[in-house]
């Protein structure tokens, strides 16, 4: 199989944040917000699916955030407020200015997956980095075999993009299966873990391309379920998180074995990751 | 007309069972249906049955007087519902409701236990398969105990 994470050309001026204005801000969950940003100077950026940018809250700090959308020259980020910087970014109001560097990193192999079944597996905020891949798959739906999105979250209230998921399901181009860890009886969806959805999903294990993003433990169990279904390592792609700082492969903070996540990831083929994920404290 | 044993052989739970064993188990089974919202069993009641779900979905619920019902698992077609028939004290641990219209095969626990007592090989086969189901659900429960979605992510 020739599929592999797709390398994108590095952005020019990769170390200098460009000013972006917050055009709109939408609440997704109790602690997660989606910001739509417009560039104030220079050309709009065109991130590929799965790439990230470094977003700078002036005077607070800079963090890597996956791109959850890009259209009409606008950049969309979905941010969970878990620390000082992400909280500052998530709370940026309409009209506020943030710094943006990038885009950086590899992309989901949506082009290499043409002609194959595609299984998109997301957990929690891990749906955000997969959102543009899902949009691309739906746009060119006729180029693929079975396309399935499996999404798991802690509770119905913690799910991202709920309206979009409903619309996606209604349009019927992709199979959409959502599960949560626990719910009240008014929840019409499933309750259970993502690997159980994998067991029941329809795809050809010999040729499917699986795109997986979520907490590392969830990805580990998802990969196990995929392998048990007979999916080979090189058909599985994961988006990894490490402590990315420079984002251009200089500082080494995001080293993962012989790779740097900012440069060689964040999207990796699992055959690259398999020997690394078995090493504790790596 | 499709026999019960023929319906059963396509279910993962019964995969690989010899025809005569399937027919022995099928002898304790009957087809049942539940309307959406129907109570299938209630915590604390006598558990003398298990179900092989053939269509629809079922919620397993825990109930607390302070917080009301909480869905802890949903089961789908192909899943087995209920193992309390096999183990003392044969009481349901949770409630189960039909989330949709449900078609299932119900197996009489007392009938099956009598057949298992008479035929230890059948008993071993069934206990092994229920143990596998229990292990699977235990692993899923452990995964949820990790509360993975509560962890800090890049986004």
Cβ contacts of A64 on chain B, cutoff 8 Å: 154
Cβ contacts of A183 on chain B, cutoff 8 Å: 70-71
User: Which CATH number belongs to the domain containing residue B66 in this structure?
Assistant: 2.60.120.10
A59 backbone φψ class: left, alpha, beta (φ>0; ψ -120 to 50): left
* Chain A residue with Cα closest to B144: A181
Phi, psi angle pair for A230, to nearest 5°: 95, 15
Please indicate, yes or no, if residue B54 is contained in any of the structural domains: yes
Q: What is the DSSP string of A125-142?
A: GGHHHHHHHHHHHHHTGG
**How close is the nearest chain A Cα to the Cα of B50, in Å?**
20
Cβ contacts of B57 on chain A, cutoff 8 Å: 190
Q: How many domains are there within chain B? A: 1
Q: Which CATH class is domain A18-104?
A: mainly beta
Give the alpha-carbon dihedral of A95, A98, A102, A108, to 10 degrees.
-70
Per-residue buried b or exposed e for B87-106, using 16+ beta carbons within 10 Å of the residue's own CB: eeebebebbbbbbeebebbb
Please indicate, yes or no, if residue B97 is contained in any of the structural domains: yes
- Residue-wise pLDDT for A155-193, tens only, equals 999 999 999 999 999 999 999 999 999 999 889 899 999
* Chain A residue with Cα closest to B67: A184
**Among candidates A83, A2, A7, A79, which has minimal Cα distance to A37?**
A79
Please indicate, yes or no, if residue B30 is contained in any of the structural domains: yes
Q: Which residue has the tokens 């998180």?
A: A241
Please indicate, yes or no, if residue B155 is contained in any of the structural domains: no
C-alpha radius of gyration, chain A, whole number? 18
* Chain B residue with Cα closest to A82: B152
Q: Do A192 and B73 touch (CB under 8 A)?
A: yes
The parent domain of residue B90 ranges over 4-149
For residues A97 and A39, give the distance between their C-alpha atoms in angstroms, rounded to a whole number: 9
B61, B73, B149 ranked by CB distance to A124: nearest? B149
For residues B58 and B102, give the distance between their C-alpha atoms in angstroms, rounded to a whole number: 8
What is residue B153's predicted lDDT score, i.e. its pLDDT?
A: 47
**How close is the nearest chain B Cα to the Cα of A174, in Å?**
20
- Residue-wise pLDDT for A209-243, tens only, equals 999 999 988 999 999 999 999 999 999 999 998 88
Give the mutation candidate from B100, B101, B132, B149 for the A interface (greatest A CB count, under 10 A).
Answer: B149
What is residue B9's predicted lDDT score, i.e. its pLDDT?
A: 86
A65, A179, A200 ranked by CB distance to B155: nearest? A65
Q: Do B149 and A79 touch (CB under 8 A)?
A: no
What is residue B154's predicted lDDT score, i.e. its pLDDT?
A: 45
What is residue A12's predicted lDDT score, i.e. its pLDDT?
A: 55
Give the mutation candidate from A51, A80, A84, A193 for the B interface (greatest B CB count, under 10 A).
Answer: A193
Per-residue buried b or exposed e for A118-127, using 16+ beta carbons within 10 Å of the residue's own CB: bbbbbbbbbb
Phi, psi angle pair for A133, to nearest 5°: -65, -45
For residues A228 and A199, give the distance between their C-alpha atoms in angstroms, rounded to a whole number: 9
Please indicate, yes or no, if residue B154 is contained in any of the structural domains: no
First to last CA, chain A: 28
Q: Is the ipTM of this complex over 0.90?
A: no
* Chain B residue with Cα closest to A89: B155
Please indicate, yes or no, if residue B42 is contained in any of the structural domains: yes
Q: Do A78 and B78 touch (CB under 8 A)?
A: no
Which CATH code is given to the segment(s) A118-277?
3.40.50.80
Per-position pLDDT tens, chain A of length 282: 555 776 555 555 688 899 999 999 999 999 999 999 999 998 889 999 999 999 999 999 999 999 999 999 999 999 999 999 999 999 999 999 999 998 999 999 999 999 999 999 999 999 999 999 999 999 999 999 999 999 999 999 999 999 999 999 999 999 999 999 999 988 989 999 999 999 889 999 999 999 999 998 899 999 999 999 999 999 999 999 888 889 988 888 989 889 989 899 899 999 999 888 877 777
What is residue A11's predicted lDDT score, i.e. its pLDDT?
A: 54
What is residue A276's predicted lDDT score, i.e. its pLDDT?
A: 86
For residues B90 and B93, give the distance between their C-alpha atoms in angstroms, rounded to a whole number: 9
Tell me the β-bridge partners of A27: A33
* Chain B residue with Cα closest to A220: B143
Interface size between A and B, measured as CB pairs under 8 A = 93
First to last CA, chain B: 56
How many other C-beta atoms lie within 10 A of the C-beta of residue B143? 21
What is residue B66's predicted lDDT score, i.e. its pLDDT?
A: 83
- Total residues belonging to chain A: 282
**Is the backbone peptide bond immediately before A266 cis, with ω within 30 degrees of 0?**
yes
Domain ranges in chain A are 18-104, 118-277
Cβ contacts of B68 on chain A, cutoff 8 Å: 184
What is residue B155's predicted lDDT score, i.e. its pLDDT?
A: 39
A82, A185, A190 ranked by CB distance to B61: nearest? A185
DSSP code, position A9: P
pTM of the model: 0.90
If chain B, 155 residues long, is cut into consecutive pieces of 10 residues, what is the mean pLDDT of each piece?
84 92 94 97 96 96 88 95 93 96 96 95 95 94 85 46
Question: How deeply is A14 buried, as exposed, middle or buried, from its count of CB atoms within 10 A (0-12, 13-18, 19+)?
Answer: middle
């Amino acid at each position: 199989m020739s599929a592999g994470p797709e390398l994108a050309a590095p952005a020019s001026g990769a170390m200098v944040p460009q000013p972006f204005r917050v055009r709109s801000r939408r609440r997704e969950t109790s602690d997660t917000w989606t910001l739509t940003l417009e560039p104030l100077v220079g050309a709009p950026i065109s991130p590929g699916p799965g790439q990230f940018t470094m977003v700078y809250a002036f005077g607070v700090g800079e963090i890597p955030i996956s791109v959850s959308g890009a259209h009409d020259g606008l950049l969309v980020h979905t941010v969970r407020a878990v620390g000082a910087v992400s909280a500052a970014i998530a709370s940026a109001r309409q009209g506020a200015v943030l710094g943006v560097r990038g885009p950086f990193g590899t992309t989901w192999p949506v082009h290499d997956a043409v002609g194959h079944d595609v299984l998109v597996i997301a957990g929690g905020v891990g749906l955000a980095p997969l959102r543009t891949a899902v949009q691309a798959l739906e746009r060119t739906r006729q180029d693929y075999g079975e396309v399935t999105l499996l999404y798991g979250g802690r509770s119905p209230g913690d799910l991202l993009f709920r309206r979009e998921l409903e619309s996606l399901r209604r349009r019927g181009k992709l199979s959409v299966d959502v599960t949560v860890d626990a719910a009240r009886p008014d929840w019409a969806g499933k309750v259970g873990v993502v690997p159980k959805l994998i067991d029941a999903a329809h795809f050809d294990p010999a040729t499917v391309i699986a795109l997986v993003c979520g907490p590392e433990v969830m990805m580990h169990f998802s990969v196990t379920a995929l392998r048990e279904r007979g999916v080979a390592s090189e058909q599985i792609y994961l988006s990894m998180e490490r402590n990315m700082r420079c984002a251009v492969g200089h500082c080494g903070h995001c080293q993962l074995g012989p790779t740097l996540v900012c440069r060689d990831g964040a999207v990796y083929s699992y055959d690259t990751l398999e020997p690394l994920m078995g090493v504790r404290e790596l | 007309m499709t026999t019960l044993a023929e319906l059963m052989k396509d279910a993962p739970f019964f995969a690989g069972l010899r025809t005569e064993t399937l027919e022995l188990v099928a002898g304790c089974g009957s087809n049942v249906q539940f309307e959406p919202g129907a109570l299938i069993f209630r915590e604390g009641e006598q558990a003398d049955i298990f179900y092989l779900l053939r269509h629809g979905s079922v919620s397993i619920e825990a109930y607390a007087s302070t917080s009301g019902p909480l869905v802890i698992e949903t089961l789908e077609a192909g899943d087995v519902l209920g193992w309390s028939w096999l183990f003392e004290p044969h009481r349901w641990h949770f409630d189960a409701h039909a989330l949709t219209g449900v078609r299932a095969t119900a197996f009489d626990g007392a009938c099956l236990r009598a057949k298992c007592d008479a035929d230890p090989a059948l008993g071993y086969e069934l206990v092994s398969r229920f143990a596998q189901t229990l292990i699977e659900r235990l692993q899923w429960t452990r995964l949820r105990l990790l509360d993975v979605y509560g962890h800090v992510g890049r986004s």
